[in-house]
Structure 1
């Protein structure tokens, strides 16, 4: 019986160690034009879970776009993930998206773009990809209007061209 508990404990440690959390502060990012991204080669599926902060407004009618990628310049751009008719991005609620795009390696970059006048404060975004471990980026800040705002933890030597402003 002790060996069963020991194996269960080891299994839980392994499972929880597979998810990577990125803890730093989001910032404004200069970027290439994400809407010009074209799907080349193989297409992969991604699951993205976005949790809206409990200190956000009740819900937003703002237009929200998402971009993420790896250190090799593989990027996924998802325009208009908002849906005001469904009250998406409601306070204290998680929204799940199934996206497809260019296949990536480990995700190390994520950014939101917001336009509108309501405001919106995500708590976190977790991305599950085919070739990468799940990764969570913690925002806990309102997304400024009219700029790409997020994280870039990709190595500058890798050729990924997003830079902090």
Structure 2
């Protein structure tokens, strides 16, 4: 546990000096979403910040999947333990994950929420630890229940390795 806390503090300090990309967009329904898997593994740190407008406590199941324009994606099922306050109002939670390495910048985030309490994330920050260039996604919207919702989209040109994050 102490290692995780130290890693979170270290990466927070480093990220402020490296700059980040950000995206502000409302979540959209994504019923055709499928989870992929690959063999090359990298380490990721995901930090969620729950809005002050969110419910004071949630027992809802929260899952995330993020990835790049090349189809690499990391699945983070059931991040929270309903007995904890990980996603409560004002809370900041950090999760260490392992998953396939990204071959281009992270350019989307899918969020799943199941339950009756509700959850309004203010932002989600994703660090690929080998690269240390985080992406921060600003939400500040209620995540609807029982469906995958996608934030952002990828615009990838294979030869030039260009990724753009856009909002509507």
- For the aligned pair, the TM-score class normalised by the smaller chain equals 0.7 to 0.9
Q: Structure 2: how far apart are the matches of 1:74 and 1:60? A: 30
Counterpart residue number, 1:88: 86
Structure having the higher strand fraction is 1
Counterpart residue number, 2:22: 21
Q: Judging changes above 3 Å, is the alpha-carbon distance between structure 1 residues 132 and 28 closer, same or farther for their aligned structure 2 residues?
A: farther
Following TM superposition, by how much is the alpha carbon of 1:29 offset from its aligned partner in structure 2, in angstroms?
Answer: 2.0
Q: What aligned pairs does 1:150-161 form with structure 2 within 5 A after superposition?
A: 150-155=150-155
Q: Please, what TM-score do these two structures have when normalized by structure 2?
A: 0.77
Contact kept? 2:120, 2:142, Cα under 8 Å: yes
Q: Does structure 1 residue 134 correspond to structure 2 residue 162?
A: no
Following TM superposition, by how much is the alpha carbon of 1:59 offset from its aligned partner in structure 2, in angstroms?
Answer: 1.5
1:24-58 deviation line (CA, Å, top 9, x unaligned): 33222233322xx33x2320000000000000001
Following TM superposition, by how much is the alpha carbon of 1:137 offset from its aligned partner in structure 2, in angstroms?
Answer: 0.6
Following TM superposition, by how much is the alpha carbon of 1:94 offset from its aligned partner in structure 2, in angstroms?
Answer: 0.5
Q: Structure 1: how far apart are the matches of 2:53 and 2:152? A: 25
Q: CA RMSD in A?
A: 2.0
Counterpart residue number, 1:64: 62
Structure with bigger gyration radius: 1
Aligned residue pair count: 142
**Secondary structure of the equivalent of 2:80?**
coil
Following TM superposition, by how much is the alpha carbon of 1:86 offset from its aligned partner in structure 2, in angstroms?
Answer: 1.6
1:119-164 deviation line (CA, Å, top 9, x unaligned): 1110000000134621011111111011112313201766xxxxxx
**Secondary structure of the equivalent of 1:31?**
coil
Following TM superposition, by how much is the alpha carbon of 1:85 offset from its aligned partner in structure 2, in angstroms?
Answer: 1.4
Structure having the higher helix fraction is 1
For structure 2, the 5+ residue unaligned runs are 1-15, 159-168
Q: Please, what TM-score do these two structures have when normalized by structure 1?
A: 0.78
Task: Decide which of 96, 111, 136 is 1:98's aligned counterpart.
Answer: 96
Contact kept? 1:106, 1:131, Cα under 8 Å: no
